[in-house]
Structure 1
Amino acid sequence: MKLAPIPMLDLSRQYTIVGEEIQAALAEIGRAGRFVLGKEVQAFETAAAAMLGTTHAIGCSSGTEALWLALDAAGVRPGDKVITSPFSFFATASAILRCGAQPVMADIDPVTFNLSPLTVTAILERNSDIKAVLPVHLYGQCADFDALNRLKIKHNLLLVEDAAQAFGAKWNGIPAGALGDSAAFSFYPTKNLSAWGDAGLVTTSDDTIADRANLLHVHGMRERYFHEIVGWNARMDTMQAAVLLIKLRHIEQWNLDRARIAARYHWLFADSGLTLGTSADAADLVLPQTDPRATHVWHQYVIRSSRRNDLRAHLTASGIGTEIYYPLSLHQQQALASLDYVPGDFPHSECAAREVLAIPIFPELREDEQDRVVEAIVAFHA
């Protein structure tokens, strides 16, 4: 008997939990006709700020817009230089460029995949004109904010969090979104907290940053048709806010479910007979690791393999979904050739791009499905 495929993510299972409630909320919005900046937007902003421990939360139209708003509102201006990771989604770099600033890449920590404070330090020692650092909380684990905060103080930097993948993550008990001067979240449908389309959020506890972000995301207006600054249409749709407001009540449990699944993957792999290690060249697999100071929300469960492409092909043939986040470092992207980086500049990022493979993880993933994923990986190495 042919077994059913195991997807990377199955949002239809989540729909059985929240679908009817969301449909009712959307129908009410339709009846009331409040499609733009309805009361649900402010309700979600208030609830999200309370959960994330910030004074302000500004809903916007996407995670990409949130990154731009968070950077600009914090004070990044044309000509400024912003250090960030080359191992991230493209929006991390494009948002800096949209501000008119220059992305300055620093290599990642090979264990956590996050921006390495050591490489950031090396850049700061050579450059006195860095304005900000944009660390990425990749795969749901916060970057090292102990070290980054020390650098912020020493070099008078702005710290802006790319928390697109990290809603609910924490560092030393402090939520992502409350660690830096400002932060950006994405609610793209694949995220732990997801909209039914595109949506994002900017968080900050700085009144001045919040005021500018609020202005920027509605064409620079406080009073309608009177524009103080040149802004943009980056508002969150009322319908997306309604979806997020309902899902927000579940996100803590969903993140706990992800952590349980990740722990079970750890146990299954440890019991599998595979050679596990810290180097993909010396082991069958490298498993993801969590910094003891971090609360990981497991947006992705990412293994490393020196035979990644062959392993992925084997899993695809076995009906198991996988994804590569990310197959090419930002400094090697054609669109960013003007940054003048070359292959070899960031060896840890480039190695990760060759080796990483995300396997299925979502709150409703069943234990028998996890068993099949691990069994297929074991069979590949037999």
Structure 2
Amino acid sequence: MTEHDTDAELGTDGGTETSTDGGAGTEPERETTELDEPSTDEPISIAAPDIGAEAKQRVQSVLESGMLADGPEVRAFESSFAAYCGAERGVATSNGTTALHAALEAVGLEDGDAVITSPFSFVASANAIRLAGGTPVFADIDPETYTIDRAAVERILADRDDIAGLVPVHLYGLAADMDALRSIADDHDLFIVEDACQAHGAAIDGDRVGSLGDAACFSFYPTKNMTTGEGGIITTDRDDVADRAASFVNHGRDVGDGGSYDHVDLGHNYRLTSLAAAIGRAQLERLPEFNRARRANAMYYNEELESLPLETPTEPDGYRHVYHQYTVRTDDRDALAATLEDHGVDTGVYYGTPIHQQPAYETVSTAAATLPNAERASETVLSLPVHPDLSERDRRIVVEAVRDHFHSQ
């Protein structure tokens, strides 16, 4: 965290820094310099991981230390990332999917338990429930936020008495309605495991995701707001959950006895390497910078695309969107994507098939459900480049391509 952060970023010790916009409003544009003429043969990518010199130096230090697997570097990363989220404990894992699996095992999911989650997400959200022995039950999404709809959750709970927990997905960088979901969970004695794999630094009323449920899970895949190359982490305020997760990701070892060969439960090798943790520690220091740049790019798009016949992302009052993706909606999605490709702009469709319609989910009990908001979103969403390395030229080309498409109709 740098001393000049002024955009409602919370410090890594859980404190709050000076804010210029309350955390959810329009932010000042980044300073720009005169740009070189655009290259005509290099596309504007949908993602551009920025590792940086500091991360490379830290990796070199780990290489020279000889301690390449799990060790002090991982413990330091766990502590720093948990503090960034405002959580007490962190348990690093090999990727976001293993984080979800381990967290569900740690909160006590039992074979046959049903868990409500979103059908509009990367498939890992539901896969982890199945890997942990549970059954995903899909609740439809809010069409404005793309996150799980509280009314849909309540309807399921009115019809079923076998629900053990909730796995809300903070999608595209926007938190789910955690106030409502926590109230529901309290009323029905359910656990909550946040899928925060796309939401590093997202917040509600100043409280970061990662601190809003019984546990939360993040991914550090290269395209995420920060990366370790591959990696994940569980954050939690519950010592029992952290201890069980730490054991589960390390072959079920007794976590109170260091490197012992006492295996007290069944587990996996889901550990993060020290090399990945070294990258993660450097990336975490830059995460506020990355998120400010993503938000600045999103605000630029919001303003420049406002008059066009497409829906731009929603940021509810009190929420802080960190724009892992900048996702628009239009019935003309495929044609718009083709126009952008013609202009050298990469786009992405996240996600073109909702999970309940995936072939791997044909045998799941709620696969035949009608979930109109998720199904409609899958037909109309398109993500534009929003990553921190976009130049002013890049942003202008994206906007002009979108305008050209609609003005030519």
- Whether TM-score is above 0.5 comes out as yes
Does residue 251 of structure 2 align to residue 219 of structure 1? yes
Shift in Å, 1:370: 0.9
Shift in Å, 1:21: 2.0
Does residue 73 of structure 2 align to residue 37 of structure 1? no
SS of residue paired to 1:45: helix
Q: Which residue of 2 aligns with 1:52?
A: 85
Q: Specify which of 262, 266, 283 is matched with residue 298 of structure 2.
A: 262
Shift in Å, 1:3: 5.7
Does residue 347 of structure 2 align to residue 319 of structure 1? no
- Structure 2 residue ranges without an equivalent (≥5): 1-38
Shift in Å, 1:363: 1.2
- 2:73 & 2:134 partners in 1: Cα distance? 34
- Decide whether the 8 Å contact of 1:332 with 1:341 is kept in 2: no
Shift in Å, 1:344: 6.5
- Decide whether the 8 Å contact of 1:136 with 1:142 is kept in 2: yes
Does residue 48 of structure 2 align to residue 10 of structure 1? yes
Aligned letter for 1:159?
Answer: I
Aligned letter for 1:361?
Answer: V
Aligned letter for 1:258?
Answer: R
Does residue 278 of structure 2 align to residue 228 of structure 1? no
- 1:303 & 1:344 partners in 2: Cα distance? 26
Runs of 4+ in 1 over 6 A off after TM superposition: none
Please give the TM-score of this superposition, normalised by the length of structure 2: 0.87
- 1:380 & 1:292 partners in 2: Cα distance? 31
Shift in Å, 1:343: 6.3
Does residue 219 of structure 2 align to residue 186 of structure 1? yes
Deviation per CA, 1:286-337: give whole Å up to 9, x if none. Answer: 1111111211111110000101111111111211000010000000000010
Q: Specify which of 112, 120, 139 is matched with residue 87 of structure 1.
A: 120
SS of residue paired to 1:7: coil
- Decide whether the 8 Å contact of 1:344 with 1:350 is kept in 2: no
- 1:51 & 1:2 partners in 2: Cα distance? 40
- Please list, as runs of the form range in 1=range in 2, the aligned pairs for 1:337-348 lying within 5 A after superposition: 337-341=362-366, 345-348=370-373
- 2:283 & 2:56 partners in 1: Cα distance? 13
Q: Is the alpha carbon distance of 1:8 and 1:132 closer, same or farther for their aligned partners in structure 2, counting shifts above 3 Å?
A: same
Does residue 334 of structure 2 align to residue 309 of structure 1? yes
Q: Which residue of 1 aligns with 2:386?
A: 361
Q: Is the alpha carbon distance of 1:59 and 1:129 closer, same or farther for their aligned partners in structure 2, counting shifts above 3 Å?
A: same
- 1:250 & 1:60 partners in 2: Cα distance? 21
Does residue 275 of structure 2 align to residue 239 of structure 1? yes
- 2:59 & 2:182 partners in 1: Cα distance? 42
Q: Which residue of 1 aligns with 2:173?
A: 140
Shift in Å, 1:146: 1.2
- Structure 1 residue ranges without an equivalent (≥5): 275-283
- Please list, as runs of the form range in 1=range in 2, the aligned pairs for 1:291-310 lying within 5 A after superposition: 291-310=316-335
Q: Specify which of 357, 362, 372 is matched with residue 397 of structure 2.
A: 372
- Decide whether the 8 Å contact of 2:361 with 2:367 is kept in 1: no
Q: Which residue of 1 aligns with 2:13?
A: none
Aligned letter for 1:10?
Answer: A
Deviation per CA, 1:75-99: give whole Å up to 9, x if none. Answer: 1111100000000001001000001
SS of residue paired to 1:138: coil
**How many residues were matched structurally?**
365
- Decide whether the 8 Å contact of 2:94 with 2:271 is kept in 1: yes
- Decide whether the 8 Å contact of 1:59 with 1:202 is kept in 2: yes
Q: Which moved more, 1:87-96 or 1:38-47?
A: 38-47
Q: Is the alpha carbon distance of 1:35 and 1:156 closer, same or farther for their aligned partners in structure 2, counting shifts above 3 Å?
A: same
Structure with the largest fraction of helix? 1
